[in-house]
Amino acid sequence: MKKAFFDKILTLGIALAFFATSALAGEKTSVGSKSFLWKVQSKTATAYILGSVHLAKPDLYPLPQKIEESFAKSTALAVEADPAKAKDPALLRQLLAAAVYAKGDTLKQHLSNETYELAGQEVQRLGLPMETFKSFKPWFLAMSIETLELQRLGYDPEHGIDVYFAGKAAGKKRIIELESFDFQIKLLNGFTEREQELFLLYTLKDLAGFQVETEKLMTAWRTGDTKTMETLATRALFESAWELQPIYEKLFYKRNREMTAKVGQLLNGKETVFVVVGAAHLVGMDGIIELLRGQGYSVEQM
């Protein structure tokens, strides 16, 4: 498989498998409407927190003026993982080492016949032989299939909001990692056998309505509709709560708490920081915004 393929997967971030948002062509945010941007203030510092769309088309831009102005006011950018590091050859080697089974072991040995056959059908539909992924683990296959599907529909991580702002900040603003790609790779690779299969299975099942769902998610993003965003992002959890709860805890809730603590550290300083994290991490009672509000910070959706 080509190196560029892995580079693109690395840029997606951990939330992609259950939350990939794409740009809805031609739809723009109306003047005066809410956006997926919050202003959070302590007595000494300000954090502008923007929900990220990890993949998009070029027509996502220009972004609303209030978002650009908030970025301009900041002296630092905080992201889940610095996209500039995604093409580091050492990181690529780390990803491959984590994603590939030991010699002699294969994907088929770790999946039920039903999941393996469904995966094979989707991989073939996307124009690749299943043989391509025979040595890869289920979590990597899930991310790869969703990446390929988004690319088939015309979306690209190179136009993602985190990549956009990291590019604007390079050499001009301090870039802070709330996590890292190393952390994200280890998290995915730390899934149990059962969690990996569920991760893959529900990614495959979501593909049937993938385009419609991502458009709904993007509409919610453009209009600052947190309720719809939360409903769509957690739909699979409520359909099969007992099965997916451990995965959601690892992918979202635990990370939300940890990133909230790091944003809190920034708010204890005297800096104005622009924070970009996946939009699904911001919504709901267990999302970063409500966690910060619960800690007593002044929180305003812009």
Quick: pLDDT tens for 241-288.
678 899 999 999 999 999 999 999 999 999 999 999 999 999 999 999
- Interatomic CA distance for residues 148 and 146, integer angstroms: 5
Distance, CA of 14 to CA of 259 (rounded, Å): 13
Tokens of 201: 């299975």
Please say whether the beta carbons of 249 and 243 come within 8 A.
no
Token couple for 146: 């969703």
Model confidence band, residue 18 (pLDDT cutoffs 50, 70, 90) = very low
Inter-residue contact 186 to 90 (CB < 8 Å) = no
Amino acid at 32: G
Chain mean position to CA 301 = 21
Q: Could you state, in order of their start, the residue ranges of all structural domains in the chain?
A: 3-19+34-301
**What are the Cα distances from residue 184, in Å, to 166, 192, 277?**
18, 15, 13
More confident residue, 180 or 156: 180
Where does residue 27 rank: exposed (0-12), middle (13-18), buried (19+ CB within 10 A)? middle
- Residues paired with 301 in a beta bridge: 38
The single residue listed with the structure tokens 């469904």 is 118
If you ran DSSP here, which 8-state letter would residue 57 be given? -
Residue 46: pLDDT band (50, 70, 90) is very high
Query: What integer pLDDT is reported at residue 196 of this predicted model?
Result: 97
| CB proximity list for 9: less than 8 A, separation 6 or greater | 95, 140, 143, 144, 147
**pTM for the model:** 0.89
Q: Which of 3-12, 13-22, 121-130, 174-183 has the lowest mean pLDDT?
A: 13-22
Most confident of 13-22, 90-99, 116-125, 217-226: 116-125
Tally of CB atoms within 10 A around 139 = 23
For 160-226, the DSSP string reads -HHHHHHHHHTTTSEEEESS-HHHHHHHHHTS-HHHHHHHHHHHHHHGGGHHHHHHHHHHHHHHT-H
Q: Is the pLDDT of residue 108 over 80?
A: yes
**pLDDT confidence of residue 240:** 64
pLDDT tens for each residue of 208-247 = 888 888 888 888 998 999 999 999 888 767 776 678 899 9
Cα separation, 271 vs 215, whole angstroms: 35
Query: Which sign, positive or negative, has the C-alpha torsion 198, 203, 205, 209?
Result: positive
pLDDT at 36 over 50: yes
d(CA 239, CA 117): 22
For residue 19, is pLDDT > 50? Answer: no
Q: Is 94 helix (H, G, I), strand (E, B) or coil?
A: helix
Tokens at 274, concatenated: 């622009």
Q: Is the pLDDT of residue 6 over 80?
A: no
Least confident of 41-55, 85-99, 270-284: 85-99
